[in-house]
Amino acid sequence: MTQPMKEPRKFSFDAVFDGPGASGHTPYKRLYTTDEVERLTAQAKAEGEKVALARAEAQSAAALSALAESARAALPALAAAAHEHRVGAAELAVAAARKIADAALEHFPEAPLQAALTALASEVEATPKLVLRAPQALIERLSAALAHTAESIGFPGQIVAREDASLPPAAFRLEWGDGAAAFDPAAAAVRVAEALEGALAADGLHAELIEIREDEHG
C-alpha cells in the first residue's frame, strides 16, 4: 500500500528548526544597561592605565640604570680631571707663594732670623754665645737684627757674626753649644714642593680607592 506524500514545507532560513534533531538552544542577543557599559568601560580603562604605567616604570628603570652605568663609566675621567685641576691649582699657588717669599726676603732678609731666635729663646737662654753665619752681603744687617731680637727676649750671651761664602742669599746658620739651626730659602722651597707632591699623590690614590670601592659595591 502506497503511503500518501506529505505536503512540502517551505524552507524559510530560520536560525531555529523545530522537529526531530533540533537542539533546543535558542540564541539571543545580550543587551547591556548603561551602568554595565560604564562599569566595563571604567574597568577596561583602569586595566589599560595599569599596563601603561607598568610599561612606563620599566622604561624609567631601564633609563636610570643606563644613566647610572654611564656615570660610573665617567668616574675615572672625572677623577683624573679633578686631580689634574688640583695639581695645577696647587702648583700655581706654590709658584705665587715663592714669588712673594722671594720679594719678602729681598726687602726683609732679617725676618726669618728674628723669628728663629724668638722660637729658640728657651733653648738658647743658658748658652753663653751665639754664632751667626751668613753671606757677606747680609752679615751686618743680620747681625744688627739678631742683636736687637736677643735684647728683646732677654738673651744675655755674646753674639758673634761670621761671613760664610758657601751660604746662598738670604740663608743663615745659628750655632750655640751643641745645637744649631739653619735656614735656606731654596732648600725650604724644595721641601715644600716635595710635601705638596706627596699630598697630591696621596689625594689621587684616595680618589682611586673610592672609585674601586664604588665599583665593588656596584
Rounded Cα distance between 197 and 190, Å, is 10
User: What pLDDT digit, counting tens, does each position of 193-202 carry?
Assistant: 888 788 777 7
Give the cell for residue 167.
Answer: 751660604
**Per residue in 64-105, pLDDT tens?**
777 777 777 777 777 777 777 777 777 777 778 778 877 777
Contact 133, 164 (CB under 8 A): yes
What is the reported pLDDT for 209? 47
Q: What is the pLDDT of residue 172?
A: 93
CB atoms inside a 10 Å sphere around CB 171: 22
Report the half-sphere exposure of 36 (CA within 13 A, side-chain side): 4
SS (H, E, C) 192-206: HHHHHHHHHHHHHHH
For 161, phi then psi, to 5°, come to -105, 130
CA–CA distance, 72 with 68 (Å, rounded to integer): 6
Whether 176 and 124 have beta carbons less than 8 Å apart is answered as: yes
Q: Which residue ranges in the chain fall short of pLDDT 50?
A: 209, 212, 216
Q: 117: closest CA among 142, 139, 100? A: 142
Q: What is the pTM of this model?
A: 0.51
DSSP 107-170: H-TTHHHHHHHHHTHHHHTT-SEEEEEE-GGGHHHHHHHHHHHHHHHT--SEEEEEE-TTSPTT
Q: How far is CA 132 from CA 136, 140, 147, 159, 215, in A?
A: 12, 11, 10, 7, 59
